[in-house]
Structure 1
């Protein structure tokens, strides 16, 4: 007996995966999700494996992986290529750390400029505007 997740229309599939129908079609065009055969005179049906695959893609996106990187991870999903997957994750981690460092520098600079703006009174040039012009 088939489970409810083995005979889904694209609309029901999208709902079960927590995305919209256009996301499903987009993932199919990007080759992240296979497009099932369309029986003559019928509609395509999707299953639980398809729902799991979309959830995998969405989880990877939340971790900052690009669609190309996700495609690579999907090629490694049999679980026997942990070192390759770890290498992709290490690259992503390095990018995240670099962005965090950039954000920390931005925070320091903006904090300094905001405090300088707050300390100025009267008709003087705005330190923030001056810094942006400089």
Structure 2
């Protein structure tokens, strides 16, 4: 079960001073019992869990960061090592539903390494689908041109 607190509400519920509550939240965060959001001009929110929770760092996080079309995660995706935009494009093609492909189109604006993208596509046998998705994206929005050697 998860509950959402501000620092003041957490301190009030636990019967602690503000600084003691902050120290406790910090220790709980190290044990993966707390996730934070907000901050700066917003009020910082603490999501407190009953058991340790790992934060996802995979496909849906990248899609929702770079695409204006936000997707509700169908599954929790944990990536070990580097998981970048090129990997997310290939995973979006593998999932294959329309909303995912539309959201994946926006990632072409942020591709840094076309060589890695096409190596992954060849490995997964998705090269044709990748090229057609890129061409569709170029018709709809402003997207970087694909280098000639990969066409």
Question: TM-score higher than 0.5 here?
Answer: no
Bigger fraction of residues in strand: 2
TM-score (normalised: structure 2): 0.27
Higher helix residue share: 1
